[in-house]
Chain A
Amino acid sequence: MPVVNMHTRTPIAAINDFVVKFANVNGSGSASANELFARAILRMGVPVSPRNIFPSNIQGLPTWFEVRVTEKGYLGRRGGVDMMVAMNPQTWAQDLKEIEAGGYLLYDSTRPMPASAFRDDITVIGIPLTAICNATYADVRQRQLFKNIICLGVLSWLFEIEPKEIERLFSEQYKGKEALLASNVKALNLGRDYARDNVATGTCHLKVRRADAVGDMIFVEGNSAAALGCVYGGATVCAWYPITPSTSVVEAFQSYCKKLRHDPETGEARYAIVQAEDELASIGMVIGAAWNGARAFTATSGPGISLMTEFIGLAYFAEIPAVLINVQRGGPSTGMPTRTQQADLLSCAYASNGDTKHVLLFPEDPKECFDFSAAALDLADRLQTPIFVMTDLDIGMNYRLCKPFEWDENRSLDRGKVMTAEDLDAGKTFGRYLDVDGDGIPYRTFPGTHATKGSYFTRGTSKNRMAGYSEAGPDYVENMERLLKKFETAKTYAPAPIAHLAPSPSRCGVLYFGSTAPAMAEALDNLAEADAPLDAMRIRAFPFADSVAEFIANHEQVFVVEQNRDGQLRSMLINEIGVDPAKIIAVLHFDGTPITARFIVKAISTHLGKTDAATKTLVHS
C-alpha cells in the first residue's frame, strides 16, 4: 500500500503556504531536482524560498533542502516542516520528528518498513522509487539521477504543480541536448503516472495554485549579486583565497567579467583576478592595488578575516581603501563551515591591534548585496579605509527572491579625494594626512602622478600630517583623533537604517540586521496579529546612524535579534552609543541554521509575557 494515513490528526490543508523539506545524501544528484521543484512553483507565480542545509563534504553525508512556499512573500524560514521527503536512512529518525502534527512523509517504500518506524499523527506516502528506477533503467548512474526526477514527478502530482512549467525548465536547462530533455520528461511522467494510479485523490491537502505574487522579482544568490555589484562598482582587481561560503562570489565575478569586461576588439581583460596563496596575500594584493588607485576587493569568511587582521590594521592606519565581502559562517575557528551565523561583527568592527573602528554594511538579501558591494567600493575610495560587506551563508549561497537590480545611468563612480598632477601644478597644498576639509578625510595622490610634487611615503608606523615618520605624541594623537572624525563622517555616507513602525505607538522595539530580515517580517506580522505590535528598525551599517540611538531612546525596551551567541550587535550598541544594557534584550539564535519566524515570535512573546523577567537573554531552545 503506497499510502498509510494514520488519521489521529486531521491532515494539514494549505494552499500556497507550506514548508517542504528534502532529506538527501550529498553527492546523489538531488540538488538539481530539488531546485527544479522550487523553480516550478515560482514559475506559477507563487514565491518560494529555498535553503540548502549542507555538510562540509563532497559525497555521502546528510544534506537537506527546505522550501518555503509562501504566497504572502515571507522569504525567511517559518520553522517546522509540513512535508518531509525523507530519502536518507541515516537521518530518518530526526527527519520524522521534525514533521508537524498532521503533516506528511514521503519516502522510498521499495524496502518495506515496520509500522513502528512511522508516526500515527502524519500521513505517510510510500513510493517505491528504487523499484521503479530499477525496472526502468539498466545504468546505475541513471537509476540514481532519475530517481530524483521521478520523485519530482510524484510531488508535482501531489501538489498539483503544472508539469508544463517543469518541462519548460527542462528545456531551458537542456537546450541543445534534446536526448537529455526527452529522458527527463519521461522520468517526470513515470513519477506522475505512478502517483496518479497509486495514491488516492485527496491524500495530500498541500496544494500549489497559480498566483500573481512574484511580479518582476528576480531569483538569485547573494554571492552572485555581490559579485555583480563589484562589476558595477568598478572593481578591477580581485584577490582571494577559496573559503566556504564565499568562494562563489569570486566564481561569479569571474563569470560576469568574462561577459561584461573584455575589450570587444582585442579580447583583453579590464580586470585582474588572482587566487592568492592565502588570505594574508589576498588582502595584501587588494591593499597594494587600492594604494595604486585601482578599485579592489576580496571575498572571504570568518577564518579569512582572522588572517587578514594585521593588514586591515595597516589599511586603517595608512588609510588605504579596501573592500572585504565577508560571507559569514559558524565560528569560532573552523567552526561550522557550511552553516550560517552573524558572528563576525566584533572581529570586523574592531579588527587589528590598537584602536580601530571599521565601517560595516549589512545587506538583507541579494538586492542589497548588489547595492552594498557597489556602494562599498565608492565608500572605500571616499573614506580611504576598509569597508566590510557583512553578508552570510544564508543570503550568499541560497537562491532568494528579491527586487530586480537597478542602476542609475547618471551615476558615476565616487573616486573620493584624489589630487591630480593639474591640482599639484596649480599649487594646491598636499599633505597626505592633512585634514583640509574638516571631515577627517585627507587627499591622496596615486604613484606616478607628478615628477616633483605629491609623492609620499606611507607606512603602518605613526606619522605626522605630511606623512613624515613621527613618534611625537601630539602628531600621533592628532592623527588618531582625525581618524575618529573620519569615522563620524562615515555615518553620512553609509546606508541609513530602515524603521518599520507599528500602526499605534509601541512600548517595545526590535533591532535586527542582515539575513534576519525576512524571518523578522513574518514574525512582526504574527506578533501584530497576536496583539503585540512592535516598532522595528533594521540596522544597515556601522557606524550607527543617530536614528538608532533615537529609536532606542524612544522605547522602554528594545530587543536585539542576532544570529550569534554573545549578542555582538548589542555589545556594539552599548559600546558605541552608551545605551543602558538593562534596556536592550538579546534574542539570540546561533545553532547554524537560519533563524525562523517562530523562534523570534516565541522568544519575544515569552519575554513580553514575563513582566518581571529576571533574565535578559532568551536563548534558542
Chain B
Amino acid sequence: MTYIAKPKLHHPALTHNAAGFTRRDYEGTISTLCAGCGHDSISAAIIHACFELNIEPHRVAKLSGIGCSSKSPTYFLGNSHGFNTVHGRMPSVLTGANLANRELIYLGVSGDGDSASIGLGQFAHVMRRGVNMVYVVMNNGVYGLTKGQFSATADRGSKSKKGAVNQDSAIDLASLAILMGATFVARSFSGDKTQLVPLIKAAISHQGAAILDVISPCVAFNNHAGSTKSYDYIREHNEAMNRLDFITGQEPITADYAPGTVTDVLQHDGTTLRLRKLAEDYDPSDKAGALAHIQERAAAGEVATGLLYLDPLPRDLHEGLNTVAAPLNSLPDEALVPGRAALVKINAGLR
C-alpha cells in the first residue's frame, strides 16, 4: 500500500484511446507487492482492458477487502475513487455503492482468504443479488500478509512452503458463483494475459454479477513443488474451455472459423462475445453441464479456465428493485422530501 506515486511525465508519442487517455492515465501508484507476484499481472491486465475499452477512469469505483489482493487497487486506476474496506466485507460495501449510483462501473477486488474464508457469506449473497459489477478474485491459495497459512481455496493434499499438507477440501469460487446465480463466471491465470484481458473486458461490459477467479501464484509462499497454485503447476494443468474475443458494437463481425466452433453472444450493451470452442463438449450457457464439467476436470487434476458460464441478458439488482434510472445519489430534495402538505395528511390519519 504505497504512497510512492509514479512520475506523471510520459513519452509524448504515447497513444491515446478514443476517450483521449493514454495507458498511463489508468495506472496507479508503484506496487509494493513482491517482485513476480501474480497480482501485479492482473493489475496490468485491468489497466490494459480499461484502456482498450475507452473507459473514463473516474467512472470506475474500485473496492476491496483486506489482504495482498485488496492492496492492489492502489496500483491501477489512480484517477478512480477507491475504498479499501474491511476483511471479507467488500461485497456489501460494493452493493451499497451500486445502489447509490447505478451509472458507475464497480470493480471489486478480493482474494481467496477475503472471499472464500472470512467473506464467504458476503461473496455468496452479492452473487445471488445480481449486483452489476466485476468481482476479481486474485486467488493464490495462501495467506500472504500473515506469511503462508493455507486459505480455503487450497486443494486438499497440496503442500505449504513449510511442508504441511492441507487436509481440508478446497472451495471452488467459480462453481459456487455459478450456483449462487452469478451471470458471468470465468476463470483465468495471471500468467495468461491473452486469455485474461478479453475476459476482463467482457466482464466489464456484462450488465450483471460478473466474477473472474484468477489463479495468481504467490511467489513468496506458494510457488514451490507440492503447491497446486504455483506458476509451474498451473501452466501444466490449465485446461481452457474456450477462447474469448470481445467485440464492441462498432467492430465488424467476421466469421472465418469452421462452423460449430464459434458462438457469438450479444450482450445487453450491444457488445458481442465471440467464443471459440476449445473443449469439444463445453457449453457455457448450460449451468448444470458447466458445473459437472468443472468438477470432472478438477477430479482429473486439471484447472478449467475460460468463460465458464454466461447468461448474456441478466436481471440486475436495480431491475428487481425497480429503482429510477437516475442515480439515487443525484435525486434533488424535491424528489425525496414529500413536503408539509403530505405530512398534514399523515398526521390526520394518526388520530
Contact = CB atoms under 8 A, between A and B. Distances in A.
B84 A274 contact: no
Q: In the complex, which range does the number of interface residues on chain A fall in?
A: 35 or more
A266 B81 contact: no
B104 A260 contact: no
A133 interface: no
Interface stretch (A281-289, A338-346, A388-396, A593-601): A281-289
B323 A457 contact: no
B351 interface: yes
A449 interface: yes
A226 interface: no
Nearest to B73: A457
Interface in B244-264: none
Nearest to B126: A281
Interface stretch (B33-41, B158-166, B225-233, B326-334): B326-334
A470 interface: yes
B96 A296 contact: yes
B146 to A, nearest CB: 16
Interface string B76-115: 0011111111100101111111111101100000000000
Contacts of B100: 236-237, 288-290, 292-294, 296
A311 B89 contact: yes
Contacts of A167: none
A234 B329 contact: no
B17 to A, nearest CB: 13
Interface stretch (A401-409, A517-525, A556-564): A401-409
B58 A449 contact: yes
Nearest to B71: A469
B119 to A, nearest CB: 10
A287 B94 CA distance: 9
A121 to B, nearest CB: 39
Given A405-B343, A469-B3, A288 B322 contact: no
B329 A446 contact: yes
Interface string A204-237: 0000000000001111100000001001101011
Given A281-B125, A412-B333, A413-B336, A218 B347 contact: yes
A269 interface: yes
A252 B339 CA distance: 18
Contacts of A469: 1-3, 74
A447 interface: yes
Contact of A288 (B79, B96, B346): B96
A457 B331 contact: no
Which of B56, B328, B333, B347: most chain A Cβ within 10 A?
A: B328
Contacts of A234: 333, 336-337
A621 to B, nearest CB: 38
A401 B79 CA distance: 53
Interface in A448-462: 448-452, 455-461
B93 A284 contact: yes
30 contacts: A218-B347, A228-B346, A237-B100, A239-B95, A261-B336, A261-B338, A266-B324, A268-B324, A274-B99, A274-B317, A282-B92, A284-B86, A284-B91, A284-B96, A286-B96, A288-B99, A293-B329, A294-B96, A311-B89, A413-B336, A413-B337, A445-B81, A446-B81, A447-B58, A448-B101, A455-B81, A457-B82, A459-B1, A459-B83, A464-B3
